[in-house]
Amino acid sequence: MTVTIGLTATASMVVSEADTAPAMRTGAVEVLATPRVVALCEEACCAALAGAVVPPKTTVGVRVQLDHLAPVSVGTTVTAEATLERVEGRRLVFTVSASDHAGLVAAGRMTRVVVETDTFLAKAR
């Protein structure tokens, strides 16, 4: 495993009806739902770790600190960026942001932990 500070990656999406707050049952306004922004940022974190964490190990999300700052309409492209800021043993702390053509949509931090896949699954309830 070669996880180093500074690993970075992006993930992009075009907002569809399935990504909206009503579709995700988190609100009534037809804009990008906060849980979908979280998922996009998680995708960028995983992309940053591609090749650095290999089976039988993987990472799992354990903490999300995200401010959703602007509404985004269906049809808009949103890009999330994740940069590995700190490595604390098995704990990996990322700075994340999401932007569209008009600017910043969300920003925060996400923490992932390196685990052995089989051991982790054995603990699942």
Kindly report, residue by residue over 5-43, the tens digit of the pLDDT.
999 999 999 999 999 999 999 999 999 999 999 999 999
Look up the CATH number of the domain holding residue 83.
3.10.129.10
Determine which one of 20, 59, 68, 111 is catalytic. 68
Determine which one of 20, 42, 59, 81 is catalytic. 42
**What's the number of domains the chain is made of?**
1
Determine which one of 8, 34, 58, 76 is catalytic. 34
> What per-residue string of b and e applies to 44-83 under the rule 16 or more CB within 10 Å gives b?
bbbbbbeebbeeeebbebeeeebebeeebeeebebbbbbb
Instruction: Establish if 1 belongs to a structural domain.
Output: no
**Is 117 tagged catalytic?**
no
Which tens digit of pLDDT belongs to each residue from 42-71? 999 999 999 999 999 999 999 999 999 999
**Is 101 tagged catalytic?**
no
| Domain span holding position 105 | 8-122
